[in-house]
Amino acid sequence: MAGGSDAAETLSCARCSNPASLQCPKCVELKLPREGAAFCTQDCFKASWSSHKSVHLKAKLSSLGTDGAGGQNSDLASEGWLYCLRKGQSRTPKLPPFNWTGSLRPYPISVKRNVPAHIDKPDWANDGVPKVELNSDWQHRVEIKTPDQIERMRETCRIAREVLDAAARMIRPGVTTDEIDLVVHEATVAAGAYPSPLNYHFFPKSCCTSVNEVICHGIPDARKLEDGDIINVDVTVYYKGVHGDLNETYFVGNVDEASRKLVQCTYECLDKAISIVKPGVRFRDVGEVINRHASMSGLSVVKSYCGHGIGELFHCAPNIPHYGRNKAVGVMKAGQTFTIEPMINAFGVIKCGLMGGLLLQQTANAALSLSILFW
């Protein structure tokens, strides 16, 4: 750490508020205000590093300017901040070409986060391929979970709930979705779990953050949340051999009435779908209930994605379509575990497209889209 001047000796430690004369060298390099860069000892500095380093990131992101995603930032690129291509399998320093439907653009993403060796990991953690899942017979048959599996899933879902709540506390204007991902990653690892999305089919981050017209699978990046945005945070954790998957959509600051209507309707769709869940109900009936309520509100249901089975596999049978007149096969039975995650669009829009070769899906005319999940 750098030694401070005589004036700096009157500052308070950024961690413990004791008198401080040492300065974070990175803050000095970036010419950041001394008030938040002072520490009383090396120990305080080291203990604060995981949270303090976000100050450096925010300073670098501010240099992106108003054109943000379109400009190039050599400082970010030199530290591994690049755009994502080929569904997560490659990177580029240039903004990918795409027929953008609105003002939203992808921003550079940070380097892949590490998971400690002692954490139990799914098979895709190293090579990106969920081999067990792809070859499982549970893609074609709906598994009836044992009491032990159910108990492990309850425990895992409790962890996922705590992680999602930690992410929610970060949401406000000026925070980047990458910062939200960092909180999700660290909270998951601290609980002894693995963030299931990380490297799943090469997905580069530990959660999905889908803003405004992005339907799902948004990649956390350097974009700052803005007042009036809506953001969905999708968290899945892997613990004791099973996955727990949940997401919610949040307001960023002050949002308009159309956004509030969309969020309210989607929650109502989810509640109505949950209310019919019991043994003997057809899987296809979930979509009928959701579609009916969304249509009555002048909104539309995404048909490209559906709920899914979950347990020792991240995704498996059954498929749970959220739209009406679907052809889902089978009935609900005690011991089955699956997600219901209606994705609802504003303004009757039902088309969507892959954004710039990425993994995220965007509505065809920049209409707002919302997803909320129940397990």
Q: What is the CATH number of the domain that holds 333?
A: 3.90.230.10
The domain of 18 spans 12-45
Answer whether 217's CB lies under 8 Å from 199's CB.
Answer: no
Query: Across the strands, what pairs with 197?
Result: none
**What pLDDT, on a 0 to 100 scale, did the predictor assign at position 98?**
74
Q: Are residues 124 and 17 in the same domain?
A: no
Report if residue 68 sits inside a domain: no
205-209 contacts: CB < 8 A, separation 24 or more? 205/109, 205/113, 205/178, 205/181, 206/113, 206/181, 207/167, 207/180, 207/181, 207/233, 207/234, 207/235, 207/236, 208/232, 208/233, 208/234, 208/247, 208/360, 209/177, 209/180, 209/181, 209/233, 209/234
**Beta-carbon neighbour count of residue 331 at 10 Å?**
15
Q: Are residues 311 and 233 in the same domain?
A: yes
Cα 77 to Cα 110: distance, rounded to the nearest angstrom: 9
Report if residue 170 sits inside a domain: yes
**What pLDDT, on a 0 to 100 scale, did the predictor assign at position 170?**
97
CB-side neighbour CA atoms (13 Å) of 57: 25
Q: Are residues 220 and 173 in the same domain?
A: yes
Helix (H) or strand (E) holding 29: helix 25-29
Q: What is the pLDDT along the chain (375 residues), one digit of tens a residue?
A: 665 544 445 789 988 889 998 999 988 888 888 888 899 999 888 888 877 876 776 665 555 433 444 444 455 665 678 888 766 777 778 777 777 777 788 899 999 999 999 999 999 999 999 999 999 999 999 999 999 999 999 999 999 999 999 999 999 999 999 999 999 999 999 999 999 999 999 999 999 999 998 889 999 999 999 999 999 999 999 999 999 999 999 999 999 999 999 999 999 999 999 999 999 999 999 999 999 999 999 999 999 899 999 999 999 999 999 999 999 999 999 999 999 999 999 865 455 555 544 444 555 444 565 555 444
Largest CA distance in the chain: 76
Cα 1 to Cα 22: distance, rounded to the nearest angstrom: 6
Q: Are residues 232 and 113 in the same domain?
A: yes
Q: Are residues 254 and 126 in the same domain?
A: yes
Q: Are residues 188 and 283 in the same domain?
A: yes
Tokens 């549970």 -> residue: 138
Q: Are residues 159 and 235 in the same domain?
A: yes
How many domains does the chain divide into? 2
What DSSP string describes 256-304?
Answer: -HHHHHHHHHHHHHHHHHHHT-STT-BTHHHHHHHHHHHHHTT-EE-SS
Report if residue 4 sits inside a domain: no
Q: Are residues 166 and 31 in the same domain?
A: no
Q: Are residues 35 and 155 in the same domain?
A: no
Q: Are residues 117 and 189 in the same domain?
A: yes
Q: What is the dihedral of CA 348, 351, 352, 353, to 10 degrees?
A: -150
CA 349 to chain centre: 23
Cα 114 to Cα 230: distance, rounded to the nearest angstrom: 29
Annotated binding-site residues read 217, 234, 245, 308, 315, 341
Q: Are residues 28 and 130 in the same domain?
A: no
**What pLDDT, on a 0 to 100 scale, did the predictor assign at position 218?**
92
Annotated binding-site residues for a protein read 217, 315
Whole-angstrom Cα Rg for the chain = 22
Annotated binding-site residues for Zn(2+) read 234, 245, 308, 341
Report if residue 75 sits inside a domain: no
Q: Of 315, 303, 307, which is closest to residue 283 (Cα–Cα)?
A: 307
